[in-house]
Amino acid sequence: TLGRILNVVGEPIDERGPVGAETTAPIHAKAPEFVDQSTESAILVTGIKVIDLLAPYAKGGKIGLFGGAGVGKTVLIQELINNIAKGHGGTSVFAGVGERTREGNDLYHEFLDAGVIAKDAEGNPTSEGSKVALVYGQMNEPPGARARVALSGLTIAEYFRDVEGQDVLFFVDNIFRFTQAGSEVSALLGRIPSAVGYQPTLSTDMGALQERITSTNKGSITSVQAIYVPADDLTDPAPATSFAHLDATTVLNRAISELGIYPAVDPLDSTSRVLEPRTVGQEHYDTARAVQSLLQRYKSLQDIIAILGMDELSEEDKITVARARKIQKFLSQPFHVAEVFTGISGK
């Protein structure tokens, strides 16, 4: 399956002939037993300043990128693929769930250019030496396919973890579409909807998927999941259900993207389980907390600035505002994957 694009049932959709798979596995499986799970925590360096400083990712953890429409979730996930998957020795699996076909196509060609999908002597893609498997069930697929394609991708990732003992990177874009497809199927089955019209089995469906994404004694799965937030409302049942399962949450904020600061990560809303002195060290922890408290003070001063202007602030508050604005600018950076749009080389 490496270097190939598959659909929900494992059929190739890249017009390169049949997949020479030797083993098959059901997409529904039990989560690993408690005794088999690994609980070590180490930091996964992403190369994105705001994430590595304020909400670092754990190796073998579950990471969620939350954001409304058009604030940069897919670009951020592509940058993470660029920074982590290309330098990562192991295997990556990308599940495209109910998103744009164009993005899937772009990603495939990006992988080809970067050598993550290998080419043979004639320049054609080949499975030999490829490091990524792609599983797509995009927007144009029926809801049954979109509701199951995440499980198909996860099954491939589990194979690499359990059978080959690898450290796997599992990217999902977008988990909300998995929930949305489940809601469509639920309506077709005539089930009585729960809050906001979602399926009554929302948390069960999410739990069945998320509990399988874990690290065991054999290998690890580090998952990065983009999660669309309907109408920028984080309390909507779909994003709210996934919060409970994640080790780190990176929240993208429209107000920050409107200032032209990208990545538009909200430094006060984003959280991480591994931001503690035992894992990141005391200096990193103290620095991150100092940055957050400064940005929090700046946030509380913004109403005063909007009504009375900067001149009404005390000297101390003016220094706070100047520092916070410098930090905001420092935490933004140009992305490698956005070079074609911005003309600025990535950092």
The phi, psi pair for 168, rounded to 5°, reads -105, 140
Active site residue 100: yes
The phi, psi pair for 159, rounded to 5°, reads -60, -45
3-state secondary structure of 215: coil
Distance CA(297)–CA(305), nearest Å, equals 12
Distance CA(58)–CA(36), nearest Å, equals 18
Active site residue 73: yes
The phi, psi pair for 39, rounded to 5°, reads -120, 15
Helix axes 143-162, 202-210, angle to 10 degrees: 30
Q: How many CB atoms lie within 10 A of CB 38?
A: 15
Active site residue 278: no
268, 252 Cβ separation under 8 angstroms: no
Number of H helices, E strands in the chain: 12, 10
DSSP code per residue over 159-205: HHHHTS--EEEEEEE-HHHHHHHHHHHHHHTTPPP-GGG--TTHHHH
The DSSP secondary-structure symbol of 288 reads H
Catalytically annotated residue among 100, 254, 273, 323: 100
Q: Which residue has the tokens 């196509």?
A: 105
Catalytically annotated residue among 79, 99, 141, 158: 99
Catalytically annotated residue among 73, 161, 177, 212: 73
Catalytic machinery residues: 73, 99-100
